[in-house]
Structure 1
Amino acid sequence: MESKTKLWTKDYIFLLIGSIFLYVGFMVFMPTLPTQIIKLGGSQVEASLAVGVFSVVALLMRSISGSWNDRFGSKMLILIGFLILIATTASFYISTVVLALLAVRFIQGAGWGISTTSIATGVSAIVPPNRTGEGIGFYGLTTALGMSLAPVVAILIMNYFSFNTLITFALVILVGTFLLLSQVRIKQEKVKKTGKIQLFEKTALLPAFLCLLMAIPLGGIQTFMMVYGTEIHVENTWIYFLGQAITILLSRLFAGRLYDTKGHFVVVVPGVFAMILGILLLSFATGAWMLFFAALAFGLGYGMTQPALQALTIDRAAPENKGAANGTFLSGMDIGMAIGSFGLSIVATYSNYAVMYRSAILALVLFLVIYWMVFRKTK
């Protein structure tokens, strides 16, 4: 009985560590690759494509690899995804023209889609059923933490070293993580092999759409924070991501257990309100400390809401469809990040970045309306 309820196994811990380093090793290029493209003579549109092109192929690969996870097991897919990421990251050394960088980024999206979906599915297979909220919550912590730490590391490396140094850093991280995850054992659910690829899991569509709405402001923050810092005359924008990482960590002290004992309603609703408060503070920021306090609020809300939604996705899916469910859910994240990067930039073009962030609150208001209408009777 103990083995069925034990959460902190070696394999679970390795997957959590691997998830943090995966997000750091990949996300360091989110705020820096657009800058590198402009340095090579690319336009603002081409710089924006650095964010968008990988999202397109990642979305497709999530849909396919979720079903592959259910059929062939997560470990093999994790390692294949990492090999693609390692090869494409190394290719950045020799990609000295804009078109080459964008082509590599496109292929890199395949590795990203496969590896993230497969790690999420592996975690779902290892977590005990009665500790889903806690287990998926700590996994959600690793993804959010990696996304918060990556810009801090990337900005510091670019400020003091070079883009090639950043590539080397990412390669060391990815290769080390590949070796770590090669030691993981993940039990595979027995499923019927129908020969059909399940592109999405129906039970995950609603949580995925809510995740999409939540990811829109996050995409704007991840992509435009350095530019926003220039607008409000703050150089040390990395302090925002540091604050975000702190409260994401703190949220794990209570959010997962609260999900398991009280349900998702008492986690998600306060979490979304905290995100709205964080964005409001961000949009009125005039200095580094205001950025930091905005990050504390947004990070707390995101650290509560995203893992709760993912745990809800796993709870709603049949055991043999967890891979497809994870793929569907994470696809919502990719689409939301892409909308946040491209759509919000249009708002900023015709106004400013402060107004852009305030407009992103509309996505969270729509989130609350839909969530309340669907789940108010099943708290």
Structure 2
Amino acid sequence: MNKEPLWTKGFIQIWISNFFLFMTFYFLLVSLPIYAIRELNGKQSTAGLIVTVFIITAIIIRPIAGNLMQKFGKKAIFITSLLIFLLAAIFYLFTDSIEGLLVVRALHGIGFGMATTATGTIVADILPSSRRGEGMGYYSMSMNLAMVVGPFIGLQAINSWGNTTLFTLALIFAFLAILTGGFMKFEPVVETETVEKENNSKKGFKFEQIMENTAVKISIVAAMFGIVYSSILSFVSVYAENIGLVSVSGYFFVVYAIFMLMARPFAGKWFDRYGANKIVYPCIVLFAIGMIVLGMAQSEWMFLLSAALIGLGYGSMFPCLQTIAIQKAAPQRRGLATATFLSIFDIGIGFGSYIVGIIGDAIGLNTFYSLSSIYILIGIVFYYYLHGKMIGKETIVTKKEKYNTGA
């Protein structure tokens, strides 16, 4: 039996468009805090707020975007979001104050939140149902690749090429996102899907329409670790400058990604074979060790060693937590489970960026990074009570289901 194709023209277009959306996101995520501190005389807390404002508006707009897609269609909302995203990128070139930058970041977050909500929905429609899990795995690689390339180019731009080049590149990336995604052909909505939406609208608003309950607990765990991870996304470049390692700061995310990608195939197989706990607990410990090394780093090799450890630990743990969120949901609600997971996780990133900025001003980033390892280890307790202790019970139920179905 022939497999239905994954890499169709539409899938490739949405893959590339999503790559440039996240490319712009990560590109500015690591460079704007430096820009705010170095060029606009802001504090670390202000730099954190620049990240927080972006993520908060993205989180707020997501459920609204979902409802708007039902009313006006995916194509209209996707094109609108890309135009907002592009418009915000243009405004960076004319912003020369902290206040103005915060306004632009809020607008950019709205465009990003709408666009990423739309892309996730569109790609789920494009993929054949028989290969949707496999296709979503390939689709997520667009975000992983952007996480490597974006920070590297962003730090090169802010440190070597100048602010004008920095914001011009952001504009180019945003333009490429609309160039590749804006001319897609959209398939008509399946009739059964339309009927289901009409039935839901008749029932009135329910919490279950925007959140998947089964994904909430594990999403809270991810958000807890996301608070610490936000300190890396937002401030590792600032920290590298403080300790005199600007020359290798861009390579932090390259090393992180290399070790994350090296470990991911093994982590996935072990997850399926041995269960989540056998992967998540060691990954938490590796993440904590990596943060200690980062806080103590005074040389290039220690700085990059911390990136490797964090890539092995957090980089392997995060997809495991996301997989848990998806697996616990009913098949028809897995898309909503993904949105729930990412939205709650983003709250941790947004909240963390601001709090870390305040704490970093008070005690220094090196001290924060070292002490955060204690917080990470405490996360083991939260993971156990919110999910880990249920693994045994779920395994028994799964075995019973396989026996009853003859699997």
* TM-score interval (norm. to shorter): 0.7 to 0.9
Q: How far off is 1:83 after superposition?
A: 1.8
Q: Say if 2:246 is the partner of 1:253.
A: no
1:376 paired residue number: 391
1:90 partner letter: I
1:376 is paired with a residue whose SS is helix
Relative to structure 1, is the Cα distance of residues 285 and 325 closer, same or farther in structure 2, using a 3 angstrom cutoff? same
1:250–1:310 distance in 2 versus 1, CA, 3 Å: same
Alignment of 1:101-120 (within 5 A): 101-120=101-120
Q: CA deviation at 1:355?
A: 2.1
Rg (Cα) greater in structure = 2
Higher alpha-carbon deviation: 269-278 or 109-118 = 269-278
Tell me if the contact between 2:245 and 2:300 (Cα under 8 Å) persists in the aligned partners: yes
8 Å CA contact 1:347–1:356 kept in 2: the answer is: yes
Structure 2: distance between partners of 1:250 and 1:223: 24
Q: Is the 1:279–1:294 Cα contact (8 Å) retained in structure 2?
A: yes
| Greater mean deviation of Cα atoms: 95-104 or 310-319 | 310-319
1:188, 1:368 → 2: CA distance?
43
101-110 vs 186-195, greater mean Cα deviation: 186-195
| Residue number among 313, 335, 339 corresponding to 2:351 in the alignment | 339
Closer, same or farther: CA 254–187 of 1 in aligned 2, 3 Å: farther
Match of 1:233 in 2: 244
Identity percentage of aligned residues: 30
Instruction: Give the SS at the match of 1:200.
Output: coil
* Residues 7 and 143 of structure 1: CA distance in aligned 2, closer, same or farther (over 3 Å): same
Matched with 1:171 is 171
Give the conservation status (yes or no) of the 8 Å contact 2:263–2:316: yes
What's the offset of the Cα at 1:113?
Answer: 1.3
Q: Does the Cα contact within 8 Å between 1:280 and 1:358 map onto a contact in 2?
A: yes
Q: Pick from 208, 217, 226 the counterpart of residue 215 of structure 1.
A: 226
- d(CA) in 1 for partners of 2:373, 2:81: 34
Q: Which amino acid aligns with 2:175?
A: V
- Which residue pairs with 2:398 in the alignment? none
In the alignment, structure 1 segments of 5+ residues that lack a partner are: none
Structure 1 residues 44 and 246, CA, compared in 2 at 3 Å: closer, same or farther?
A: closer
Instruction: Give the TM-score normalised by the residue count of structure 2.
Output: 0.80
Match of 2:197 in 1: 192
Partner-residue secondary structure (3-state), 2:29: coil
> In the aligned structure 2, how far is the partner of 1:9 from the partner of 1:367?
41
Distance in 2, matches of 1:255 and 1:307, equals: 9
Deviates more, 1:98-107 or 1:124-133: 124-133
Match of 1:40 in 2: 40
Q: Which residue of 1 aligns with 2:29?
A: 30
Which ranges of structure 2 fall in alignment gaps of 5 or more residues?
A: 396-407
1:162 CA drift (Å): 1.9
TM-score by length of 1: 0.86
1:287 to 299, 304, 312: 299
Alignment CA distance shift 1:70-1:21 (3 Å): same
The letter for the 2-side match of 1:30 is L
Deviation (angstroms), 1:247: 1.8
User: 1:7–1:306: structure 2 CA closer, same or farther, 3 Å change rule?
Assistant: farther
Number of positions where the alignment pairs a residue of Structure 1 with one of Structure 2? 378
Which structure has more helix as a fraction of its residues? 2
